[in-house]
Structure 1
Amino acid sequence: MSMRFDPVTGEKIQQDSEPRQNQAAASGAARGGAASDTAPGGSAQGPTRDGIYQDTMPGDAAQETDGSGQAGQPYFYQPPAPEQAPKKKKAGPILAVIAVLLVVAAGAVVWAVKSGLFSSNSAKVLAAITNTVRDTGDLTGAFRFGDILLSDESTLTVSTESPDFGMELQFLHGKPRKQMLGSMDISGFMDVDFQAELTEEELMVRVPSVADYIFTYNYQEPKSGYLNDYYGDSLDDIDELLEAIYTPEEQAELDTDLAKTIAEECGNLEFEKASSEEFEVDREKRKCTGISTTVPRESLETIYDEFEDAVRDSMESAYRYGVYGYDMYTEYYFDEIEESRSEMEDVDLTFFIYEKKLACVRIEIEDEEAELRFLGGDTRMQNMQFLIDGEEMLRIEGEKEDSTEVKTVFMEGEEAVSLEYNRKTGALDISADAGRTAISGNVFLDKDSFKVSMDRIMTEGQPVDLTFGMTIEKGASFQEFDGEEFDIGQASVEDIQALLLEMNLL
């Protein structure tokens, strides 16, 4: 019997003598393949409702059959039937609200300063939040380097080293000047030092191993020559980026708009005395004062919308400057929150206070309830617990002996991360995944400097031959530029060609 082939695909066409059930199976597989996306290499992928990707390999039918010709278990994973699926907490809406409330909490101080509305109850809540956040352990305190970084002049140094690669970068910040110094050593390939400075008018770059010139680019004046002829309006994006780096007014304006929105919405909240309840604090049952308020759905949506607008505006600015990479994750986050907030209602918040610090924050949305409990210890935040509808989702256990502090994080009852920090020596050890992932290093902080290093790194049980260090110090030792200037913004094509010939690149 002669074979027939499809003139487009070249595949064999089934003959009438072949079983009709095989034709049906092939037709079903073809329809399934047409509805899915094809991954490189020929495998097909498609997301389930749960976000789990299903894979089918080329040549696999969409369904297998048993000896009777009936459809059997699919090749790829499918969720269990509804009656077999394990019961899960409906945590989506409440977690969405918590995400927005974290933004609200961050604006509590803004509200306090700008609103000028201090009732007795609201003042007690604000004081309890402030006192609790301040009452942290040695490890958290060791990372409070904001004052150093935001001083009039500061230097941030980042270094990393491996057998084949070494790099050190310094970022020097001052009111009139911003400078970056760096060195990079790639074994067997290059060893480069460079110097760059951004002023109010221009960018200056010098790479001594490449050329003796100081390359300049004035982002405040019109361009001529080769760059303008070749890139045209694209140079405007570069100019805007450099100006934004030197004077980041646009981002400051976005932050101000968000802060104003938070201040306005928080200032409208009314706090009332609630029933006292007992909670565990410092390993004892304590009677805690309750103060409650209701956050209207409209307020949460207003704050969320302002936050989303700020993030999207920042993303659009990044796109204009050619920075990509996070849009997929951001869109996924916003889609998840958008789906959850469609079920959002007014949120009842109750703050339970013991000795002017938080003992518990209770969040209630319709018939759902979440609690963040501050169990205390050496500090109020040393031991904490987060529950949804009475079921523990996260727990932090801490202990301190002399100068050594240990924290262990449990997720749904399973140990996830363990941290040990010695305040005197600065030694920090982090362990996760039953010890298969580990980091060891040092953290130091004083009034003028912050230092952190990672000397031992292990992933999936295998050591990584890499070290990392970061230092933030007050003060900046700016380096002066020495050499003849070459203005790349005004250089002609002939100037560029002469430069390349001089550098032996042509």
Structure 2
Amino acid sequence: MRFDPMTGQPIPEGNEQPKFDPATGQPVQQPQNGPAFNPMTGQPFSQTPYQGQSFGTTPEKPKKKTGLFLGIGAVAIIAVLVIFLVVKVAGMFGSPATKIERALANTLKQSSVIDTSVLQDSADDLQVDVELNGKVSGVKVDASLSYAKTKKETSVSGELGASVISTRFNFYMNQSKVCFDLKGLDNPVYYDFTEEKDGDLEDLMGGDVTFDQIDAVLKAFADSESLVKDFEKANSKALATLEFEKADKEEFEVNGKDVKCIGYTTTLDKDSVEAMLEEYKTALESHEDLVDLLEEVTGTDLEDMFDQITDSMDKSSKMDITFYLYKDQIAAIVLEPKGESKVQILFEGGSYPAQNMKVKYGKETIYEVKGEEKDGKITQEVYTNGTKTSEMEYDKESGKISISYSDEYGYDSFTLSGTYEKVKGGFKLEFDDIEIDSYSYSYYEIEDFTLTIQATKGAKIEKIEIDDDALDLGNADEDELEEFAEDVESLFSGF
């Protein structure tokens, strides 16, 4: 017997297994006619509304910036890595890069409107509580998440309820197992992603998902810190060949004034990009399970993946990257691909360097942040291709905060309103007013919903003890899995 992978319910023989939206878990109705939808956003590829329905006036879609993507190409991807990672390896470049390192640190450390420094300062012993309370389509939800970096442990606990029925759930993950415990089940359930398995789960899932694939994903998640460290080492080797030269001074707007800024330039070409990619590939190859998964999912050999990037470049392809500094801060980062319009990231300052900033492609502003602080009130607006897509207001005295977002075309929007406050060892954000207007998720009804995010020192992990009576999903036979699926179905039948 086969099982529905989303609900755990048995599927009668001869019935076609339904398709599910991977983002929402909702069954996907295959339309006979009508527009096709982007599976990542849920929005129609066409800008035309559903046939027979009126969504009001459809916003005019801005012209595509195809020149931006075609002009910069793969070199820009590497350029972004250089900008982001130069802080990690600046010492190897000598004096110019040391100045860039210090300027980047000064520019980015003040980029947050509210103080979230505990996320970095207490990262090894961090307690992050994310609490949800309210109803989603009639189902009451509350949940709390905790993460301990040093021990590499994560736990999630909470309660689901509908009418007079409710169930408590716990999830726990370490470097070898994921464990589940549901109130109403006789015993906990676990999956060991570090050992060989010979159970029937893989067969019952129809072969679409294998043990090897599940193991690779869970191992990468559990040991993500190792992957990050390997790539940091790769960065050091990859960037060691780059050299900075002093550039001519340029004038930029900083804190409301036009000022002359010193610049330092480095050049990326085909040879340097190939050398950098080789180091990243070597780092990735040390994580064999993840590589196997990537190759299986994409159907492309790892070597070919990296070759495709460099093959899109010829020997004449190159890009100059210049960092312009003003008083130990970044005033601008300028990317100049050969033969294409330059890209400028401009930090125009205010109360802090990133309070007002722009990203320009040629003469056109494609992204802009406008910020202001006046009489203890902070406002920030974000524009994409000239259209306002988000807005934030924060009153430092009362702690009241409001955040709103709308996509560029007006399909999806939401607003969160609540309070921010500092607590001992961290901060607390509580949103008690949530409004959602979405074509993509209009079938959800949200009532009396609150979202609380609190980050402090001292992780409080809720472990799940595994004994001989616990169900081992990797080694369970068909009868055990069928009984488990029936218990879960019975448990949630009242929702």
Relative distance call for 1:363 and 1:452 in structure 2 (3 A) is same
Relative distance call for 1:299 and 1:451 in structure 2 (3 A) is farther
User: 1:100 pairs with 49, 55, 78, which one?
Assistant: 78
User: 2:157 pairs with 164, 182, 186, which one?
Assistant: 182
1-structure distance, mates of 2:89, 2:204: 51
1-structure distance, mates of 2:179, 2:337: 56
Give 1:27's aligned residue. Answer: none
Deviations 1:163-222 (A, max 9, x none): 5321213335375583535232231384111334446666654434332x4556666667
Give 1:145's aligned residue. Answer: 119
Q: Does residue 1:427 correspond to 2:400, yes or no?
A: yes
User: 1:438 pairs with 408, 412, 415, which one?
Assistant: 415
Give 2:455's aligned residue. Answer: 472
Shifted more, 178-187 versus 457-466: the winner is 457-466
1-structure distance, mates of 2:189, 2:72: 54
Relative distance call for 1:431 and 1:299 in structure 2 (3 A) is same
Deviations 1:373-397 (A, max 9, x none): 2212221221112222222222222
1-structure distance, mates of 2:392, 2:424: 24
Q: Residue 108 of structure 1 contacts residue 263 of structure 1 at CA under 8 Å; is this kept in 2?
A: no
Give 2:336's aligned residue. Answer: 364
Q: Residue 214 of structure 1 contacts residue 485 of structure 1 at CA under 8 Å; is this kept in 2?
A: no
Q: Residue 130 of structure 2 contacts residue 453 of structure 2 at CA under 8 Å; is this kept in 1?
A: yes
Q: Does residue 1:135 correspond to 2:110, yes or no?
A: yes
Relative distance call for 1:338 and 1:412 in structure 2 (3 A) is farther
2-structure distance, mates of 1:245, 1:95: 30
1-structure distance, mates of 2:365, 2:482: 68
2-structure distance, mates of 1:393, 1:352: 20
Deviations 1:403-422 (A, max 9, x none): 32111122333333221123
Give 1:77's aligned residue. Answer: none
2-structure distance, mates of 1:443, 1:376: 24
Give 1:3's aligned residue. Answer: none
2-structure distance, mates of 1:379, 1:298: 38
Q: Counterparts in 2 of 1:263-412, with a 5 A limit?
A: 263-303=236-276, 317=290, 345-367=317-339, 368-412=341-385
| 1:474 Cα offset (Å) | 2.0
Give the TM-score, by structure 1 length.
Answer: 0.65
| 1:132 Cα offset (Å) | 1.4
1-structure distance, mates of 2:66, 2:484: 66
Q: Residue 382 of structure 1 contacts residue 398 of structure 1 at CA under 8 Å; is this kept in 2?
A: yes
| 1:464 Cα offset (Å) | 4.9
Q: Does residue 1:456 correspond to 2:430, yes or no?
A: no
Q: Does residue 1:112 correspond to 2:129, yes or no?
A: no
Relative distance call for 1:483 and 1:276 in structure 2 (3 A) is closer
Shifted more, 410-419 versus 457-466: the winner is 457-466
Q: Residue 454 of structure 1 contacts residue 468 of structure 1 at CA under 8 Å; is this kept in 2?
A: yes
1-structure distance, mates of 2:318, 2:380: 35
Shifted more, 306-315 versus 264-273: the winner is 306-315
Pairwise CA RMSD: 5.0
Deviations 1:123-174 (A, max 9, x none): 22222222211233533x44762333x2236354332422532121333537
Deviations 1:330-373 (A, max 9, x none): xxx99998897679821112222211212222221223212222
Q: Does residue 1:41 correspond to 2:32, yes or no?
A: yes
Q: Aligned partner of 2:119: which letter? A: F
Q: Give SS of 2:234's match.
A: helix
Work out which of the two has the higher radius of gyration on C-alpha atoms and give 1 or 2. 1
2-structure distance, mates of 1:393, 1:366: 20
| 1:283 Cα offset (Å) | 1.4
Relative distance call for 1:259 and 1:318 in structure 2 (3 A) is closer
1-structure distance, mates of 2:465, 2:277: 50
1-structure distance, mates of 2:437, 2:488: 46
Shifted more, 272-281 versus 188-197: the winner is 188-197
Q: Counterparts in 2 of 1:121-270, with a 5 A limit?
A: 121-139=96-114, 141-142=115-116, 145-148=119-122, 150-152=123-125, 154-162=127-135, 164-173=139-148, 175=150, 178=153, 180-188=155-163, 190-198=165-173, 205-211=180-186, 213-215=187-189, 246=222, 248=223, 251-270=224-243
Q: Aligned partner of 2:471: which letter? A: I
Give the TM-score, by structure 2 length.
Answer: 0.67
Q: Give SS of 1:289's match.
A: strand
| 1:400 Cα offset (Å) | 0.3
Q: Residue 180 of structure 2 contacts residue 188 of structure 2 at CA under 8 Å; is this kept in 1?
A: yes
Higher relative contact order (CA 8 A, sep 6+): 2
Shifted more, 254-263 versus 377-386: the winner is 254-263
Relative distance call for 1:194 and 1:373 in structure 2 (3 A) is closer
Give 2:471's aligned residue. Answer: 488
Q: Aligned partner of 1:40: which letter? A: P
2-structure distance, mates of 1:285, 1:494: 74
How many residue pairs get aligned? The number is 421
Q: Give SS of 2:67's match.
A: coil
1-structure distance, mates of 2:152, 2:336: 50
Q: Give SS of 1:121's match.
A: helix
Q: Aligned partner of 2:428: which letter? A: K
- Fraction of identical pairs, as percent: 22
- Give the unaligned 5+ runs of structure 2: 1-29, 39-43, 52-61, 300-304, 491-495
Deviations 1:7-42 (A, max 9, x none): xxxxxxxxxxxxxxxxxxxxxxxxxxxxxxxx7314
Relative distance call for 1:185 and 1:343 in structure 2 (3 A) is farther
| 1:257 Cα offset (Å) | 4.0
Q: Aligned partner of 2:437: which letter? A: E
